[in-house]
């Protein structure tokens, strides 16, 4: 018996999977997903049902019946990034998608890469960020830009989940975007899809076909097998997510790539998320500004405007803004120039300021957040497991330690970027028996991200423990400074009982903490309210002298009691 997937039936019927799934619920088949399989009989039933009815075309869809609340604007093309381990086929997959789906006959095909391209599937557009790997992805996030709507995690079926796969998963998780797993190289003899599914399940990403929620699609970037299903899934996930943009709304666009062209000057590619970017607009991006001289689409063709979900290259900025920088439209060119100049000055000052050496304590600021977010790298899987285990034992009440990413290998720029993109907690990058590469060190200095490496696991745990406790603010400790014996007591009206004491050791200090003992048992713990020598208020009284002590809120002090005096001191953790 052959089995069909729901999305395949939807494709046969020429309707979006989402519409079919909604209809299936009405048909009494709830709980199915686009990748769910149905038996032949069920498939026939579904087809029958749709033949009887006039097939609902997307335009006729139940729009009036239940107009869903639109967040803002209209659905726009989803922006997709491809991440995964090196050599698992990210570039090949991006090429395969581009070759197969960029609308044919348009301007003689692709002549240049602008860092992103668009494909058309079922007359809908999908925008792919063309620079594979999570460096670009995280570089953008580190600047607060969330360009990607959906992430594709590429895992080679002959290799399974590897170190950078884990890293990519952590980056995607931190970004909070939906993930689709492309299990690539299915054409290879050693391909083992189940192993990849198992690896994913172990990571807590149970595949849909095993009853979980992780969408997986087996593909071969080389033969093209499964690529259409992958695109189908992207559209489906986009529909589920509800990805909207308003062409008339406020311009929201982010730089994804930029470079200096020897003849045309600075070229910057942006992805527009909302609003419409037009020729002649005056823009500010970071500390650069300019009037748009020309807009080029991903095929190098000149366009007058770019709406939501579209990548476009801009000519006309006066400099090369970094990836992740937001682009703003400013009406007045003078105002735009002023803003850009002001930012350039501020960033110069900032750079100068961070040059000053910072201690570990200064870097681990007493943050408002009570969370320490750690990126951990170690020399081997054994070392990594050991370090992970040790960090797992660290506890401090009221603060949380989150292991954002743990991987094998040196501390790289990507690790620092991941930490720098952290918004909710105090980031910290630590390495166990690994080195920090030069770029990572420079970036850490620029961004004020503490990076530390250790050769002894004990030192690592000590330091991270310290960082964790510092988040709570300073710690205090009582230090015993003296001891006094009560000789007699006086009850003074309106004041309370005063103990006439002889200081036996150390000193008694005003405002100090006091513990009272009677026959060797602690009977009261409190604070010295007043300290007098004869009739004078004094700050402290040394051993061998006598004094009058009144204890706050305690009138039961008796002759013969022993008073231990403590001061409270801040402990440097
Ligand atoms: P990236 O480092 O993730 O961008 O990987 P590449 O796209 O450069 O691919 C690495 C190698 O795997 C290249 O030699 C590709 O030809 C090969 N490759 C990529 N996808 C497939 C596939 O689906 N099947 C097979 N057999 N080889 C593939």
The lowest-confidence range among 202-206, 472-476, 567-571 is 472-476
Choose between 188 and 69: higher pLDDT: 188
Q: What is the pLDDT of residues 480-509, one digit of tens each?
A: 999 999 999 999 888 889 999 999 999 999
Query: Which residues make Cβ contacts (< 8 Å) with residue 487, sequence separation at least 6?
Result: 500, 501, 502, 546, 559
Residue 134 marked ligand-binding: yes
Residue 185 beta carbon below 6 angstroms from any ligand 1 atom: yes
Closest CA to ligand 1's atom 10: 87
Residue 220 beta carbon below 6 angstroms from any ligand 1 atom: yes
Q: Does residue 7 register a pLDDT over 70?
A: yes
Closest CA to ligand 1's atom 19: 89
- 3-state class (DSSP) for residue 106: coil
Q: Does residue 466 register a pLDDT over 90?
A: no
Per-residue tokens: 564: 């231990």
Select from 218, 231, 147 the least CA-distant residue to 188. Answer: 218
Residue 240 marked ligand-binding: no
Select from 196, 115, 125 the least CA-distant residue to 162. Answer: 196
Q: Does residue 537 register a pLDDT over 60?
A: yes
Interhelix angle 90-101/227-241, rounded to 10 degrees, is 90
Residue 88 beta carbon below 6 angstroms from any ligand 1 atom: yes
60 C-alpha to center of ligand 1: Å?
42
Place of tokens 């920090």: 436
Q: What is the pLDDT of residues 51-87, one digit of tens each?
A: 665 444 444 444 444 444 445 688 999 999 999 988 9
* Ligand 1 nearest atom to the CA of residue 88, by list position: 3
Q: Report the distance separating Cα 444 and Cα 486, nearest Å.
A: 59
* Ligand 1 nearest atom to the CA of residue 154, by list position: 3
pLDDT-derived band at 410 (thresholds 50, 70, 90) equals: very high
Q: Residue 358: which H helix or E strand, with range?
A: none
Average pLDDT over residues 442-448: 88
Q: Report the distance separating Cα 103 and Cα 297, nearest Å.
A: 13
* Total count of residues recorded for the chain: 573
Q: Report the distance separating Cα 114 and Cα 296, nearest Å.
A: 9
172 C-alpha to center of ligand 1: Å?
22
Q: Where are the beta strands (DSSP E) in 109-178?
A: 116-121, 124-129, 150-156
Q: What is the pLDDT of residue 209?
A: 84
Average pLDDT over residues 387-397: 83
Q: What is the pLDDT of residue 50?
A: 73
Closest CA to ligand 1's atom 18: 89
Whether the Cβ atoms of residue 283 and residue 313 lie closer than 8 Å to each other: no
Residue 186 marked ligand-binding: yes
Q: Report the distance separating Cα 406 and Cα 388, nearest Å.
A: 8
Query: Which residues make Cβ contacts (< 8 Å) with residue 280, sequence separation at least 6?
Result: 291, 292
Select from 72, 97, 73, 93 the least CA-distant residue to 83. Answer: 93
Residue 12 marked ligand-binding: no
Q: Report the distance separating Cα 2 and Cα 302, nearest Å.
A: 49
Residue 91 beta carbon below 6 angstroms from any ligand 1 atom: yes
Q: Where are the beta strands (DSSP E) in 158-212?
A: 179-184
Q: What is the pLDDT of residue 191?
A: 95
Q: What is the pLDDT of residues 94-124, one digit of tens each?
A: 999 988 776 554 444 445 678 899 999 888 9
Q: Report the distance separating Cα 278 and Cα 293, nearest Å.
A: 10
Choose between 414 and 68: higher pLDDT: 414
Burial class (CB in 10 A: 0-12, 13-18, 19+), 309: buried
Whether the Cβ atoms of residue 412 and residue 437 lie closer than 8 Å to each other: yes
Residue 185 marked ligand-binding: yes
The lowest-confidence range among 17-26, 223-232, 346-355, 419-428 is 346-355
Q: Report percent pLDDT > 90 for the chain.
A: 47
Q: Report the distance separating Cα 83 and Cα 439, nearest Å.
A: 21
Please give the C-alpha separations between residue 245 and each of 25, 191, 253, 309, 493, in angstroms, as whole numbers: 29, 40, 11, 7, 77
């Amino acid at each position: 018996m052959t089995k069909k997937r729901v999305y395949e039936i939807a494709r046969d019927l020429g309707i979006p999977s989402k519409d079919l799934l909604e209809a299936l619920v009405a048909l009494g088949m709830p709980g199915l997903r686009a990748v769910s399989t149905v038996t032949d009989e069920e498939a026939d039933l579904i087809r029958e049902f749709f033949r009887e009815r006039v097939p609902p075309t997307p335009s006729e869809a139940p729009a009036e019946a239940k107009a869903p609340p639109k967040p803002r604007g209209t659905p726009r093309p989803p922006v997709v990034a491809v991440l995964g381990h090196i050599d698992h086929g990210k570039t090949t997959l991006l090429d395969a998608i581009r070759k197969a789906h960029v609308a044919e006959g348009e301007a003689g095909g692709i002549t240049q890469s602008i860092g992103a391209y668009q494909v058309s599937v079922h007359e809908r557009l999908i925008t792919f960020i063309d620079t594979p790997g999570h460096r670009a992805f995280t570089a953008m996030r580190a600047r607060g830009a969330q360009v990607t709507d959906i992430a594709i995690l590429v895992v080679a079926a002959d290799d399974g989940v590897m170190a950078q796969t884990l890293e990519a998963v952590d980056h995607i998780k931190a970004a909070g975007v939906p993930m689709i797993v492309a299990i690539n190289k299915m054409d290879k003899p050693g391909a083992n899809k189940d192993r990849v599914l198992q690896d994913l399940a172990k990571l807590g990403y149970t595949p849909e076909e095993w009853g979980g929620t992780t969408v997986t699609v087996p593909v071969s970037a080389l033969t093209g097998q499964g690529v259409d299903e992958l695109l189908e899934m992207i559209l489906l996930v986009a529909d589920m997510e509800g990805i909207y943009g308003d062409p008339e709304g406020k311009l929201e666009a982010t730089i994804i790539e930029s470079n200096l062209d020897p003849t045309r000057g600075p070229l910057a590619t942006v992805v527009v998320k909302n609003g419409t970017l037009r020729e002649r607009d005056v823009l500010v991006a970071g500390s650069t500004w300019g009037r748009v001289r020309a807009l080029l689409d991903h095929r190098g063709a000149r366009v007058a405007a770019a709406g939501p979900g579209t990548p476009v290259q801009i000519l006309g900025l006066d400099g090369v803004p970094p990836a992740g920088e937001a682009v703003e439209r400013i009406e007045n060119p003078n105002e735009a120039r002023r803003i850009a100049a002001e930012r350039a000055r501020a960033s110069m000052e900032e750079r100068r300021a961070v040059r000053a050496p910072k201690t570990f304590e200064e870097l681990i600021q007493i943050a408002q957040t009570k969370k320490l977010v750690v990126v951990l790298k170690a020399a081997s899987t054994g070392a990594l497991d050991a370090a992970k285990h040790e960090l797992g034992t660290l506890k401090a009440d009221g603060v949380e330690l989150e292991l954002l990413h743990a991987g094998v290998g040196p501390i790289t720029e990507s690790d620092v970027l991941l930490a720098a993109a952290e918004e909710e907690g105090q980031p910290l990058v630590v390495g166990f028996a690994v080195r920090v590469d030069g770029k990572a060190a420079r970036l850490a200095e620029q961004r004020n991200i503490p990076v530390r490496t250790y050769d002894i696991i004990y030192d690592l745990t000590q330091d991270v423990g310290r960082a964790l406790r510092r988040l709570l603010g300073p710690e205090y400790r009582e230090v015993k400074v003296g001891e006094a014996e009560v000789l007699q007591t006086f009850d003074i009206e309106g004041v309370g009982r005063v103990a006439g004491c002889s200081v036996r050791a150390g000193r008694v200090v005003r405002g100090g903490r006091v513990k009272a003992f009677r026959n060797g048992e602690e009977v009261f713990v409190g604070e010295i309210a007043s300290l007098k020598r004869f009739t004078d208020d004094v700050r402290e009284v040394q051993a061998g002298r006598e004094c009058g002590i009144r204890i706050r809120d305690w009138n039961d002090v008796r002759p013969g009691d022993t008073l231990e005096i403590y001061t409270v001191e801040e402990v440097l953790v």
